[in-house]
Amino acid sequence: MNPGPVRPQSRTRRAAERTVPFGLAVYTIVVLWYTHYGHHPADVTGRRTREPWYTAKTTPAFSDMLAKLRRTITAARHIHNPAGQPGPEEIAAVIRAWEAAAA
């Protein structure tokens, strides 16, 4: 029995029903992160300086937001204790204090 033509699984109706909402969710999360935490006025200026054909660029593109998020995640992986953030010892001390207070 011939099963018919082989179709890539990414081109089925169910795949689109899964991937499109996921893509929209990821897009939304990146834009919200950039809006609340990643935006800096120099981002667009820096892009125009590096790529002079963007003479009229006034707002960051999604690719700019995504690149900044990737750089931020990479930096967070390599910086073990950013300034102002408690380290593991400090967190453990606070947890012990809470446990002692609750006992």
- The domain spans of the chain are 9-102
pTM: 0.61
pLDDT digits (tens, 9 = 90+) for 5-56: 666 677 788 888 888 899 999 999 999 999 999 898 888 888 888 888 877 8
CA distance 50 to 26: 27
pLDDT digits (tens, 9 = 90+) for 84-100: 677 778 888 888 888 88
Short-list 61, 35, 36, 37, CA closest to 48: 61
- The 3-state DSSP composition of the chain as helix, strand, coil percent (nearest 5) reads 70, 0, 30
For residue 59, give the DSSP letter: S
**Looking at residue 18, what is its pLDDT?**
86
CA distance 3 to 89: 61
